[in-house]
Each structure stands twice: as C-alpha cells, then as structure tokens.
Structure 1
Amino acid sequence: MKHLVTTTAIAALLSAPAFAEEEQLQDMSDPLAVFTQAGMGYTDKGLNIKIGQTYDTGIENVGAMNVFEVKGFMGDTLGWRDEANDSVDEVRLRNFRADLTTGRGSQVDASYNFNNEAGSVSYSFLQALPKMGPVQLFPLAGLGLTVANNAERGYEIPGAFAVIGVFGKLQITDKIWLNYNPMYMSALSGSEVFKNMGFEGDSSVLMHELAASYQFTPRFNMRYFANWSENTDYNDGGHRIEFNYQF
C-alpha cells in the first residue's frame, strides 16, 4: 500500500518533546508499546532509517509517539533488486496512541512512494485481546484515502478504501518471538480505475507480513521481515533485516 506524508507532520515529529524524563523500558515485542527509538534496516531495495519519538498526550495512562521512516535509499549500490536505485523510494509517518488500561490503540499512517508518485493516509483502531498461552492477537480496522500525482492534472484523490487485519504474536522464548500480520484492503469509492484496479490490479488485496525477532538486550533487538501478497510469492516479496534501539 502506498502512502502520503506531509512536511508539517515531519516537522512535528522532529520537534516533539519526550513523553517523560524518566521513562521505563517498554516491551519491544508489544505492538502497543510506546517508546523513543531509532532503527536501521538493510533491504533488497537498499537501506531504511526509522526514528520514533514519544510525547506527552496530557491524558492519564495514554502514551503516544511519532515514527518517521525513510525507505529504499542506496538501492542500486547495496540492494539486489534490478529496479532498485540510490534515491529514496518512500517516506512514511505514523502517529500512534495507546491506552495502557484498555489495551486499545489508534494510528494515523501516512506515506508517499516517489517511484510511483502515489501514496495514502489512513486512520485505524487496534485492540489487544487476552493472551492465549504464548499467542496474542491485536485486531485492526480502519479507513483511508489514496493520493496520486497525475502528470496532467497534478495531485488528486483517486478513492477511499477500508483496511481490516490483525497483528499476531507468538512468544517462543523470553528473547525470541514471531509476528504474522495479514491485512485485507478493499476499495470503497472513487474513480472507476481505482475501484476496479486500485490494489495490484484488482479492487482488493490481501497483504502478508511475517517477522522473526531476537532481543539481544532490553534496549536492542534484530528483526527479519518478509512482505508479500496474494499476487506476489514470498520469494518475490520484500525482505529486510532491521536493528532497533530503545532510548
């Protein structure tokens, strides 16, 4: 899924104050965890950089953070995909809030792909379900808009879509866990082209993400990600290794 990000939002991320001066370390395997972080990833299309900054919401037991990512630069030099280039492929900004008492979160997810000149912005809710032994599920549902740069008409909004999915977590040991995150996206309204072909040439698409993670220390981990879809085989999908540090 392609996304849109604004300069104002990036500036807000970079200037956001810390959530607390003395913040306890968070569980980095928890999809609802809120913490200041930095990450670097090596992918089949180059390098990724991620910066996350918590901030004070002013609401008791509600934490929040902005996470900004730059994806796919130095791809021709360091990646292995034929279509990779050295310029930035995509930028992404997420604003995430989590209620520590109810296990409910909300997210604004916006990014823009420079190769396709297209993007989207979505708003979704996430709810933690009770653990079932080593397994925990976090269902997600949301709505979004797509944005595209038409050579003749400039920027336009081709249509609106719905996203439904789940973040799944399997805790294997104290330091090793797996995530499987399927997401189904479907066009709701917009142009005929978008409604019929907006998602990989169809009106909808089922996306898959698998992650295997190892926690070296409470602050530092390594994660392997694979992304593919119902139309793209696992081997032909996106792959990356990511290192993350919690401040």
Structure 2
Amino acid sequence: MMKKLPLISVFSLIAPLSFTSLSFAQQDEVQDMSDPLAVYTQAGAGVTNKGSNLKLGNSYDTGNPDTMAMNIVELKGIAGDSLGLDGNDSINQLRYRNFNLDMTNGRGAQIDVNWDFNNNVGNASYSFIQALPALGPVQLFPLAGIGITVTDTAVIRGDETEIGSVGYAIPSSFAVVGTYAKITLTDKIWLNYNPMYMTTLNSNEYMSDMMDGLYHEVVASYQINPKQNIRLFANYAATEFNADKNVDWRIEFNHQF
C-alpha cells in the first residue's frame, strides 16, 4: 500500500530566525524580536492544526565578540488527537537548530536538523541569510541553502517494504533560495512574507514531486512588550504533493529571557 509522506516544507528546513537590525545590540541586551535574525534565550508554545508545539532556545558565548549564537530545540505536533486536531497524541516532529550571526556584516549561518517520527523521514541542511538595509518600512533578508533528506529504508519511494528496515537511506539532496521580508506597520505590529523556492539536486522523480516548488509563508505579529510577542502563521506549498492545496496554520507565544 502506498504510504504518502508529508510535505517537507522549506519552513521546516530554513525556519524564521530573528535578526538585530544593522545596529546589532549586545548579547546581554533585550533583542528586537521583530527581526528575522536576533539571537537570544527564549521559550515558546503554540497550537497548530496538527497539535501543540514547544520551543526552547539558548544563546551562548562564542568566544568572539563579533559573533552571537544560539541553539534551539522544538517539539511539534503534541497531543493533536486529544485537542481535536488533525494529528495524533505522539510527538510528530523533533527539530534542532544551531544559528550563528556575524555582527560585522549582518550575515547568519544555520545548521538545521529535523525528524518526522510518524513517517520516519528527516532532513539536514546548512544555509546562509544576509540582512539588507531597510527601505522605509520594508527590509529583506535573502537566503540560500543546501541539504539532504534521510528516510528509514522500511519506506522507499513511499512503499512499505516486506523486509522492513535495513538502515537509513539518503533519497535526495536539495537546494533552496528565497527571502524573508519584514514589513513594519507600527512599533508593535509587523508582517512577514517569506517566499522560498526548493529544488532537488539529484535525479529522483518521487522526491522531486514531493519537494520541488514554491513555498509561501505569511506571518502577522504583535509585540505585547519588549520580551513577549504573539504570532499567527499561514504556510502553503505549491508542490505536486499538495494537490489539495492545504494550508497549515499555527499561532504561537514567545518569551525572551
């Protein structure tokens, strides 16, 4: 029986970060949570159409006064069935990110690792993101990255094999290019539109159908106070696998320590 793997969204591969504008606040100062590259210790919780999410992030000393860095761990899709949502009650996904920001040139680099427990598929990627000067209320943060997908060999090209798992396989490599766009409306309200294009690098029609295409993310955010915000996300993937044109929604609360 064909087992349909989930969309591997570019927003799971290269996630919204935070960036402290080109003035670059010191690491012990309160960071501007509205920018897609700020580095700070944080905690967050939210609800999606597939369950609840938890996020913990810890900034750390790199030993270089010109750089800032943080680690972030996320648990996704918790207790979806109990909440009456589309997911089940297990943890659907685990995500780990390491992000480093060079404060001399406004360039960030990120290692991003994801694993989907429901479908035994994951990915790992490395990407760069560059802050550009703001043009009035609009600021762009173009990015580029490469990565690989990993799957349990019990499921190859969507089919469950009779012998079960004999290890792990790398069915595809991929590249992604795009930009984060921030539009400031007021001191407390801002919007983001983050279009990304993903393409597989190897010849694998199944993975190309699942991954290749343009991904859209729209975010509306409200800053409650300098250390807290609430954000509403909508994600849509224009890929062959999303023929039903499904949109993923989530709302999250974030606190900066």
Range class of TM-score, shorter chain: 0.7 to 0.9
2:254 equivalent to 1:244: yes
Aligned match of 2:41: 36
Among 46, 52, 76, the alignment partner of 1:47 is 52
**Identity across the alignment (%):** 52
Spell out structure 1 runs of 4+ moving beyond 6 A. Answer: none
Is the aligned partner of 1:163 residue 2:173?
Answer: no
Name structure 1 gaps, 5 residues minimum.
4-20
TM superposition score normalised by structure 1: 0.85
TM-score in terms of structure 2 length: 0.82
What one-letter code is carried by the residue in structure 2 that aligns with 1:171?
T
Asked if 2 retains the 8 angstrom alpha-carbon contact of 1:227 and 1:237, the reply is yes
Following superposition, the deviation at residue 2 of structure 1 comes to: 6.5
- In structure 2, runs of 5+ residues without a counterpart are 1-7, 11-25, 155-164
**Residue 112 (structure 1) aligns with:** 115
Alpha-carbon offset, residue 239 of structure 1: 0.6
Quick one: which of 27, 30, 42 aligns to 1:25? Answer: 30
Aligned to 2:238: 230
Partner of 1:197, secondary structure, is helix
> Deviation of residue 101 (structure 1)?
2.2
Give the alignment partner of residue 133 of structure 2, picking from 125, 130, 133: 130
After superposition, the C-alpha distances for 1:14-36 in whole angstroms (9 at most, x for unaligned) are xxxxxxx9811000011110000
In structure 1, how many angstroms separate the alpha carbons of the residues matched to 2:104 and 2:27?
20
Indicate the SS of the match to 2:201. Answer: strand
Are residues 130 and 234 of structure 1, via their aligned partners in 2, closer, same or farther at CA, if it must alter by over 3 Å?
Answer: farther
Kindly tell me: are residues 51 and 154 of structure 1, through their superposed partners in 2, closer, same or farther at Cα, counting changes over 3 Å?
Answer: same
CA distance in 2, matches of 1:197, 1:235: 19
Count, aligned residues: 223
DSSP 3-state at the match of 1:115:
coil
- CA deviations 1:147-169 (Å, max 9, x no partner) are 00011432111121111111110
Paired AA for residue 237 in structure 2 = S
1:197 offset after TM fit, Å?
2.1
Q: 1:196 aligns with which of 205, 213, 238?
A: 205
CA contact (8 A) 2:27 2:39 kept: no
